[in-house]
Structure 1
Amino acid sequence: MAELNNKVAIVTGGAKGIGQAITKELAKNGVKVVINYNSSKGTAEKLTTDLKAEGREVYAVQADVSKIEDSQKLVEEAVQQFGRIDIVVNNAGITRDSTFKKLNEEDWRKVIDVNLNSVYNTISAALPHLLESDAGRIINISSIIGQAGGFGQTNYAAAKAGMIGYTKSLALELAKSNVTVNAICPGFIDTEMVREIPENVREKIIAKIPARRLGNPDEIARGVVFLCKDGEYITGQQLNINGGLYM
């Protein structure tokens, strides 16, 4: 079991939705959290203020992690603020759904850049610091869509599947260095993104889930803490938190 108190984590897309839940759960467990956001300045500032009022050590950094220069700045600010990096949670993600016949190049590239290329960008900058940690953790928030596909989501599915392949390969490379690399693959989680799905479609999705409900962002966050705290012998794996929808 790794002691999380005073460890330092970067959570990309850490101000909203699943990312916010991860930020809160890590902070509750004594982790110093760098909350990365791109355009959600107000939400990030409020989250930072609220957590500091609870005595948590958090710091918000604006960075578009689809750009390598921004990712390098994010890592530099994290080290300047807290002196080290032990955990990176690659959570930043967007959707631009469309059937492939109608999918334009811009929406293809944007989803790949934000969901997949950002993982390269952040880890390439953070890896030297993770290698210095006594319990380095890389956790990539993939998706059930990367495992099973999704209608109108070729771009999103490709990016999320790419995260899984990346996770396995990097886990092989870093196992000897005491850095674990894992993916969490959420199913349909009760977030703003899922609430945008038309209600009749959402009801059909829920009917197919053996647990008969959407997941909660906190359930994903607890999976992250599990891998950080108790996952020293778990690497290269996919932790499926999906209510049994994909097995």
Structure 2
Amino acid sequence: MSRKTVLVTGASRGIGKAIAVKFAKKGYNVVINCLHNEDRLLQTRKELESYQISCLSYMGDMGDMNKCRELFQMIKKQFGPLDVLVNNAGISYIGLLQDMPAEAWDRIIRTNLTSVFHCSKLAIPGMLERKQGKIINISSIWGVSGASCEVAYSATKGGINAFTKALAKELAPSNIQVNAVACGAIDTEMNQFLSEDELIALIDDIPAGRLGKAEEVADLVFHLGYKNSYLTGQIIGLDGGFI
């Protein structure tokens, strides 16, 4: 029986890396991508290959359709069509909206939202041919409730949530499921800008009394990518009861 293949964008660290490791441990071929840190990406690839699976790594901006096409051509040549797409690539921006440069707005929209369109668009044809596939989008609770001083980030995640619900309706007749995981405060490098006092205050606001772990996100994503063909169009909160 041939191995299934998963693509995880933004997989050199944090949540994306944890997801890639989870699928590798389960025997999937894993395709990983990031934009900036080639050394980390190659280290991640080496770790994934230690699980005796095949791994393809690619440096490039998934907000650029030409780069995205190049990656998907490589995937098709090496593995065939994708079984699972995990749209995880994302950046944040902290600051007042009136102080945000237009270039920063364009960059976060391109990275967080346009990349989801590109990868989904290119993954869908192969899934349609086989009448099966899973698309999982990594979102945020701020896409549901909005966050002060993170307007652009919240807008991109809210866009991902709407994208997820709409695309799920399009693809459900073809047995392709589309869901999103709306993460709360997860213990990754994205939160390292917080001071100790700010971190304590944040944890105090979380009913579970702690930050989430990247591995917990990975466990949920794998479940969504592996089981249940009736679960689709859902924005699943993973936030310790935060909202």
Q: In which range does the TM-score fall when normalised by the shorter chain? A: over 0.9
CA displacement at 1:78 relative to structure 2: 1.1
Match of 1:193 in 2: 190
Match of 2:98 in 1: 101
CA distance in 2 between partners of 1:173 and 1:53 (Å):
38
Does residue 171 of the first structure (1) align with residue 161 of the second (2)? no
Normalization by structure 1: what TM-score? 0.95
Pick aligned residue for 2:207 from 206, 210, 232: 210
**Equivalent pair of 2:81/2:123 in contact (CA under 8 Å):** no
Match of 1:240 in 2: 237
CA distance in 2 between partners of 1:52 and 1:227 (Å):
23
Listed as ranges, the gaps of 5+ residues in structure 1 are: none
Amino acid corresponding to residue 236 of structure 2 in structure 1:
L
Q: Which shows bigger deviation, 213-222 or 122-131?
A: 122-131
Q: Deviations over 1:116-149 (max 9, x none)?
A: 0111111112211121345300000010111111
CA distance in 2 between partners of 1:89 and 1:234 (Å):
16
Q: List aligned pairs for 1:1-247, cutoff 5 A.
A: 6-246=3-243
Percent same amino acid among aligned pairs? 37
Distance of aligned partners of 1:224 and 1:133 in 2 relative to their CA distance in 1, 3 Å threshold: farther
Amino acid corresponding to residue 7 of structure 1 in structure 2:
K
Q: Which shows bigger deviation, 11-20 or 197-206?
A: 197-206
| Equivalent position SS for 1:132 | helix
Q: Deviations over 1:42-67 (max 9, x none)?
A: 01111111221231221111120111
| Equivalent position SS for 1:95 | coil
CA displacement at 1:231 relative to structure 2: 2.5
**Equivalent pair of 2:4/2:83 in contact (CA under 8 Å):** yes
CA displacement at 1:83 relative to structure 2: 1.6
CA distance in 1 between partners of 2:152 and 2:195 (Å):
21
CA displacement at 1:76 relative to structure 2: 1.1
CA distance in 2 between partners of 1:134 and 1:21 (Å):
28
CA distance in 1 between partners of 2:16 and 2:207 (Å):
25
Amino acid corresponding to residue 140 of structure 2 in structure 1:
S
CA distance in 2 between partners of 1:135 and 1:219 (Å):
25
Normalization by structure 2: what TM-score? 0.96
CA distance in 1 between partners of 2:213 and 2:194 (Å):
16
Amino acid corresponding to residue 193 of structure 2 in structure 1:
E
Q: How many residues matched?
A: 243
